[in-house]
Structure 1
Amino acid sequence: MNDKLKVAVLMGGQSAERSVSLATGTQVLNALDPEKYAVYAIDTATGLAQLPGEASPLVGAGGASVTALTQLPQLEKDGLPDVVFIALHGPGGEDGSVQGFLETLRIPYTGSGVLASALAMDKARYKLLCTSASIPTPAGMTLKKTESARIRKASEEIGLQLGYPVVIKPCRQGSSYGTRLVKAPEEVAEALKDTFRYDTTALIEECVQGTEITVAVLGNDDCVALPPVEIIPKNEFFDFEDKYSVDGAQEICPARLSEEDTKEAKELALECHRLLGCRGMSRTDMFVTDDGCVVLETNTIPGMTPTSLLPKAAAAAGISFEKLLDMLIGYAKEK
């Protein structure tokens, strides 16, 4: 125990992305090397080291020793963790709040810090930041849940400012929850109703046409972009089913891009990583159009589920999942 690095894996939580987070956390637990790490599994929503429906505490399929905990303070008997591996997604885990808590405790953690996490989570402010750095993003507008008069005339305003089709999504949410592809004015009201279930602000963007890709970046100050992943949705857009179903979207890595487009996509992903001040990892989603790349968003805690894109890109670069986790823990210790 004394010669092993103590790693607490935070997962679950209370956001809409809880199920995705539990899948990410389980994948991480299964892959952490038991010869290197003493692993503590913590569901931040309940404090229990156990998944819903499980009769016993989690044990990594790879043989990792997972200590059963009822809450984080119980780690004190072994000493605080050397590193916290954040496997949380969505508000409460990816938006800087848990990062701030860990900063207060002075415990190293994987992924980006408070500011980068908060900025990336808020898609509207992220767009403003990109615009200030001349990074191309889709034309868009925001609409708040409290703006009753604008909501009543939203379909008309969208038509005048953006035209149709558009994508309507929550400003601070992930995994395509509350996201709709809207092709006509009569679809706006229902789409906004769904979006406002997840956030008080809706982001409305033009629907970009082109090749959808994502580019992951690894590292702190000295970072590197991984091979782009091309995404071919089964549905009309890259929705929740496409992202997490085994028979969802087709994902090709390396993406079928020209050398010039590949270079531009990687450079943009690196620029976004550095602009936000990301640490450890990020994944920037974009479209490759006839006029160049258009950035959608940057994710500071990419999924680590069996169908996730960061592990696919890492594998294409010759980095196994186990090695990827070692690298992320190493980047956390550098901080």
Structure 2
Amino acid sequence: MKKNIAILMGGYSSEYQISLKSGAVVYNMLDRSKYNPYSIHIFKDKWVYVDESGNEYPINKDNFTTVIDGQPISFDCVFNAIHGSPGEDGYMQAYFNLLNIPITGCSMYQAALTFNKRDLLATLKPFGIKTAESFYLNLGEVIDEEAIITKVGLPCFVKANRAGSSYGISKVYKKEDLKTAIDISFKEDTQIIIEEFLDGTEVSVGVISYKGEVIVLPITEIVSENDFFDYEAKYLGQSQEITPARISKDYENKVKAQAKKIYETLGLTGFSRSEFIFKNDEPHLLEINTVPGLTKESILPQQAAKAGISLVDLFSNGIEEALKNN
């Protein structure tokens, strides 16, 4: 008996268009011999099932069902392809946990923690995970530019604390540009994190639960044509994503060990992609994505392909792991 799979896409954040692309790839690549896929668009003003003709059918939020041609449709599992809120910050995970419907990826607490860069880094620090020097700022607080620069130096990065896809991020070289960068970040979030600039090789490391085992995928080296790995570099081709990364075996072993340690320490499940920069020959964690991009051009699928895992297998495994863990 084929299982009904709801593929969540869209979301409430600036990343919704990227999510729609990821969700479309999942929809197209799901194994039809095992699953009946349904595209579910989640927006603030509507939750709807969208069929291949573009017809919309409302989702009943009480039990996450829909009605098609008079027939009620329920779902055996949810495939989460929402980047940002409410798919990557714990809200969807909590909702489906209450309904007892399996959802791919990590649980509510892990999603909320990894989405909050400040809390994530603070949680991992006692476990020996190295990170950049940082300064925290909340909306409405007095901005002490001297204190910020004294702690993190220049250049520095100003980031929205709870946002992805490089929205709300700026690289600041001069003190007089700091306020503008802070204002940009506050458009995305009420909390921001200001970090020192780490001048070194940047890599992205995928770690997934695959057939019951935690595996580290081949590493990707990020070489941006821009000043840093910003939105244009990520999504408009203005970067090189080199898999496997051109790093020494020592670097490879160190960053793989750190990525796996983080995954297991946090109790993650499903997909994850961690970003690191090497400083003084040691990997320093930047952030973790628990709903990474899933298009064919995205980093995690590239890494999976290098490991001999097709998109069909990657997505099927995500669903089977969710069903098993429920």
Q: Give the letter aligned to residue 175 of structure 2.
A: P
Unpaired runs of at least 5, structure 2: none
Cα pair 1:168 1:202 within 8 Å, conserved: yes
Q: Match for residue 241 of structure 1? A: 232
Distance 2:96 2:47 in 1: 16
Distance 2:276 2:28 in 1: 31
Q: Match for residue 22 of structure 2? A: 24
Cα pair 2:65 2:75 within 8 Å, conserved: no
Within the alignment, does 1:294 sit opposite 2:284 as a pair? Answer: yes
Distance 2:261 2:181 in 1: 32
Residues 212-238 of structure 1: per-residue CA shift (max 9 Å, x gap): 101001117730100110010111000
Distance 2:260 2:321 in 1: 16
Residues 88-147 of structure 1: per-residue CA shift (max 9 Å, x gap): 011211110110000001011100001100000000001101112110010101011110
SS at match of 2:263: helix
Alignment map for 1:73-152 (pairs within 5 Å): 73-74=65-66, 77=71, 79-147=73-141, 149=142, 151=143
Q: Match for residue 69 of structure 1? A: 57
Cα pair 1:49 1:57 within 8 Å, conserved: no
Shift of 1:306: 3.4
Distance 1:327 1:210 in 2: 34
Cα pair 1:119 1:276 within 8 Å, conserved: no
Q: Match for residue 168 of structure 2? A: 178
Within the alignment, does 1:308 sit opposite 2:298 as a pair? Answer: yes
Q: Match for 2:54 among 54, 57, 71?
A: 57
Distance 1:294 1:90 in 2: 23
Q: Give the letter aligned to residue 88 of structure 2.
A: E
Residues 263-314 of structure 1: per-residue CA shift (max 9 Å, x gap): 1111111111112211111111001233311111111111112321100000
Cα pair 1:20 1:305 within 8 Å, conserved: no
Distance 2:208 2:99 in 1: 25
Q: Give the letter aligned to residue 123 of structure 1.
A: K
Q: Give the letter aligned to residue 242 of structure 1.
A: A
TM-score (norm: length of structure 2): 0.93
Cα pair 2:202 2:276 within 8 Å, conserved: yes
Cα pair 1:83 1:107 within 8 Å, conserved: yes
Distance 1:291 1:298 in 2: 20
Within the alignment, does 1:326 sit opposite 2:323 as a pair? Answer: no
Shift of 1:30: 1.1
Shift of 1:334: 1.5
Residues 2-52 of structure 1: per-residue CA shift (max 9 Å, x gap): x2111000100221111111111011111112222111111111223349x
Cα pair 2:132 2:196 within 8 Å, conserved: yes
Distance 2:29 2:73 in 1: 23
Shift of 1:75: 5.8
Q: Give the letter aligned to residue 30 of structure 1.
A: N
Distance 1:138 1:101 in 2: 34
Cα pair 1:244 1:307 within 8 Å, conserved: no
Q: Match for residue 187 of structure 2? A: 197
Q: Give the letter aligned to residue 41 of structure 1.
A: S
Within the alignment, does 1:47 sit opposite 2:47 as a pair? Answer: yes
Q: Any runs of at least 4 consecutive aligned residues in structure 1 with deviations exceeding 6 A, and if so which? A: none
Distance 1:75 1:303, change over 3 A: farther
Q: Match for residue 5 of structure 2? A: 7
Q: Percent identity?
A: 36
Alignment map for 1:244-263 (pairs within 5 Å): 244-245=235-236, 247-263=237-253
Distance 1:33 1:250, change over 3 A: same
